[in-house]
Amino acid sequence: MTGVAVVTGAGSGLGRYIARALLDAGYRVALAGRRAEPLRESAEGHPDALPVLTDVADPAQVEALFDAVRARWGRLDLLVNNAGTFGPSGDVSEISVTDWQRTVDVNLTGSFLCARQAFLMMKEQRPRGGRIINNGSISAHSPRPGSVAYTATKHAITGLTKSISLDGRPYDIACGQIDIGNAATDMTAAISRSARQADGRELPEPIFDPAHVASAVRYMAGLPLDANVQFITITATKMPFVGRG
């Protein structure tokens, strides 16, 4: 066995790809998500998969997730903070406080809550240590028009990653971030048809196979704890990211 992992948002999209890739690599994986049936589908055929219904924005549910991992396997080697939402669209004057707060709760506070519980386990277990991988985004670098809530949370994920990386040094806890641009999932399906550009045009954007994201996460996870991928960016080659908007 390679180790024990938790993957959030594992019921669909990138989370499903990542969870399955880790299971195929020999990890025992707790799959966290808010919907039971998609989680069961992600776990299907893998005896070392543990689906756990979890809203990452709920501190009690997050604590219960890590309690389940502790009870099942007794330790934790990897957390992949993947759960997230695009949140509301519109300029800053059009975003309701409720929609803003929900996006922050899921994307930022949810990542913090899971990292907090993972950190607690990793520094107390023997042998101690582990790795946390946060799913940032291209929006952790540069925003799309009308995405203030999503972009703000993804910029904040970068700060979370850096702080955890520093705080984890005394405990052999490594933390890195993967920033992804247009992997082909249900969340990005609309982007492949039409996406608003900085100059106001609506253009289709290229996408790429999400299996490459899972491979990148496996590489990051497979490093010894004295080595770390601090940040990695993976995009569709022709995505309009590098250049002038």
CATH number at residue 38: 3.40.50.720
Residue 47 belongs to a domain: yes
Q: Of 34-38, 149-153, 182-186, 213-217, which gets the smallest average pLDDT?
A: 182-186
Average confidence score pLDDT of the chain: 95
- Torsions phi, psi for 70 (to 5 deg): -60, -45
Q: What is the DSSP string of 107-147?
A: IIIHHHHHHHHHHHHHHHSSS--EEEEEE--GGGTSPPTTB
Burial 160-170 (b: 16+ CB within 10 A, else e): bbeebbeebee
Q: Are 177 and 213 in contact (CB under 8 A)?
A: no
Q: Which of 17, 27, 150, 219 is catalytic?
A: 150
Read off the pTM.
Answer: 0.94
The percentage of the chain sitting over the pLDDT mark of 90, rounded to a whole number, equals 85
HSE, side-chain direction, 13 A CA sphere, residue 1 = 13
Collapse the DSSP code of 47 into the 3-class scheme (helix H, G, I; strand E, B; otherwise coil) and give the result.
Answer: coil
Residue 240 belongs to a domain: no
Which positions ≥6 away from 147 have C-beta within 8 Å? 86, 87, 89, 139
Residue 241 belongs to a domain: no
State residue 245's pLDDT score.
57
Cα distance from N-terminal residue to C-terminal residue, the chain: 47
Residue 176 belongs to a domain: yes
Instruction: Give the count of domains, the chain.
Output: 1
DSSP state for residue 174 in the 8-state scheme: E
Question: In terms of residue numbers, what domain contains 135?
Answer: 3-235
150 is catalytic: yes
**148-175 pLDDT tens trace:** 999 999 999 999 999 999 999 999 999 9
**120-151 pLDDT tens trace:** 999 999 999 999 999 999 999 999 999 999 99
Residue 243 belongs to a domain: no
State residue 39's pLDDT score.
97
The percentage of the chain sitting over the pLDDT mark of 70, rounded to a whole number, equals 99
